[in-house]
Homo-oligomer: A and B are copies of this chain.
Amino acid sequence: MGDDGDSGRYSVAFPRRWWYPTCRSSELTRRPRAVTLMDLPLVLFRDGGGRARALTDRCPHRNAPLSLGTVHTDGCLECAYHGWRFDGDGRCRAVPGRTTGDAAAPARDAPGHATREQDGFVWVWGDGAVPPAGDPFALPELTERGAGEVVFPCDLDCTLHAALENSLDVPHTAFLHRGLFRGGEPTEIVAVRDEVPGGVEVQYLGEPIGFGPVRRRPGSGLTFDHWDRFFLPSIAQIEYRVPGWLRIVNTILHLPLSPFRTRAWFVVRFWTRAPASVVRPVVLARGRQILRQDARILAAQNENVRRFGGERYASTELDLIGNAIWLLLRRAVQAERDGGPAATPGQAEEPALSHTSVTFTV
């Protein structure tokens, strides 16, 4: 991605040695669950101890998807075809019918991936061959009394990068979501971009308060505190604050199902002066409405890139977050290739993310 874009290129990057969200904890019950992580089929299940586990979704015996199986009373995952059983680490524990010999054998194991449950999500480590390091992204805690939460999922027909850029891009909101937010009287605001640990943050200064039907009053001097953030490998975060009045943090967890299909969970945590029970349905309705518009344009963008046989991007200084995300994703992939720790600015071949400030109107 960049101003010199060419056909035949796609902004697809998949840093493996990271935690990815794969489903909500509440969705993983006794029934095995299939999911793909950048086209790698995985089966999620809870073992005898109730612990979430992730194996490659293929029985080593005859390739049947293990996700069609069931969890045996011994806590093993049992294949539906011949009944082979695998423990949470993917080790073969039973080959029904055999009267001699050990069930366990390396060729009979289903490769596993490390898992972690945190913040109500099942996270899977992206690289089955490398032990996990660090923790999954931590969702922010809103400790204010009366804080609420809304979570809604959405599958998007687009790359991980396009989903991330879309969720953090401000200029498109005035057009695509005209009437829902922004798009009224143009106001000048300043965006300040800085690299932060594991990601990038843009702070917006001077945005007058207003949301949807509530008209902004540019002259009133009342402004939002507003930050957009990206954290590797797949987290977008939008935060609005008006001290004493409201705080909204929308954290969007992405799972790249395949190069051109991305699952997103919108985790909106909020606090306002109004009761959470009043705010929740408004956030949900408005969020879904905006999401429908985004999903439609992202699918159209994605399909267009594919029918042109590649992308061609022309950016301006307004595109300060999308290009930064792409650089960080690419840098993370490059660091894995080099085998060392994630490269830091100055060491990598990729240019560093400079402190940038842009004035634009919304």
Copies of this chain held together in the complex: 3
Q: Does chain B have a CB within 8 A of A290?
A: no
Q: Contact at B63–A175, with CB atoms within 8 Å? A: no
Q: A99-B188, A360-B98 are in contact. Are A300 and B82 (CB under 8 A)?
A: no
Is the CB–CB distance between A65 and B362 below 8 Å? no
- A138 touches B (CB below 8 Å): no
Nearest B residue to A170, CB-CB: B97
User: Is the beta-carbon distance between A97 and B360 smaller than 8 angstroms?
Assistant: yes
Pairwise interchain contact A313-B360, C-beta atoms closer than 8 A: no
Q: Check if A98 sits within 8 Å of B65, measured CB to CB.
A: no
Asked whether A3 is an interface residue with its Cβ less than 8 Å from the other chain, the reply is: yes
How big is chain A's contact interface, by range? 35 or more
For A175, give the chain B residue with the smallest CB separation.
B83
List residues of chain B with CB within 8 A of the CB of A57. 304
Q: Quick check: is A153 within 8 A (CB to CB) of the other chain?
A: no
A residues apposed to B, CB below 8 Å: 3-4, 39, 41, 57-58, 60-65, 68, 78-83, 95-101, 105, 107-108, 169, 171-172, 174-176, 188, 297, 300-301, 303-305, 307-308, 311-318, 359-362
Provide the bound-state CA to CA distance between A172 and B80, in Å: 9
Q: Which B residues touch A64, using CB under 8 A?
A: 297, 300-301, 304
Residue ID in chain B nearest A68 by CB atoms: B300
Contact of A313 among B4, B63, B315, B318 (CB under 8 A): B63
A97-B176 contact in complex given A58-B308, A68-B300, A301-B81, C-beta closer than 8 Å: no
Name the B residues within 8 Å of A171 (CB-CB).
Answer: 82-83, 96-97
Kindly list chain B residues whose C-beta atoms are within 8 Å of the C-beta of A315: 61
Q: How far is the CA of A65 from the CA of B316 in the complex (A)?
A: 19
Minimum Cβ distance to chain B for residue A38 (Å): 13
Smallest CB separation, A235 vs chain B (Å) = 21
18 A–B contacts from the bound complex (CB under 8 Å): A39-B307, A57-B304, A63-B301, A64-B297, A64-B304, A68-B297, A79-B175, A80-B175, A81-B175, A81-B176, A82-B169, A82-B171, A82-B172, A83-B171, A96-B171, A96-B174, A96-B361, A98-B318
Docked CA distance A39–B309 (Å) = 11
CB of A316 within 8 A of CB of B360, answer no
Are A312 and B359 in contact, CB atoms less than 8 angstroms apart?
no
Residues of chain B within 8 A (CB-CB) of A99 are: 188, 359-361
In the complex formed, the residue of B with least CB distance to A109 is: B314
Select one of B58, B175, B316 contacting A312, CB under 8 A: B58
Report the bound CA distance from A171 to B94 in whole Å: 13
Q: When the two chains form their complex, are residues A62 and B313 in contact, meaning their CB atoms are under 8 A apart? A: yes
B304 touches A65 (CB 8 A): yes
Out of B81, B174, B303, B362, name the residue touching A297 (CB < 8 Å).
B81
Query: Measured between C-beta atoms, what is the minimum distance from A273 to chain B in Å?
Result: 32
In the complex, what residues of B have CB within 8 A of residue A304's CB? 41, 57-58, 63-65
Is the Cβ of A300 less than 8 Å from the Cβ of B65?
yes
Q: Which of A62, A108, A312 lies at the interface centre, i.e. has the most chain B CB atoms within 10 A of its CB?
A: A62
Known: A82-B175, A98-B318, A99-B361. 14 other contacts (CB 8 A): A3-B107, A39-B307, A41-B304, A61-B315, A63-B304, A63-B313, A64-B301, A64-B304, A78-B175, A81-B176, A82-B169, A83-B172, A99-B359, A101-B317
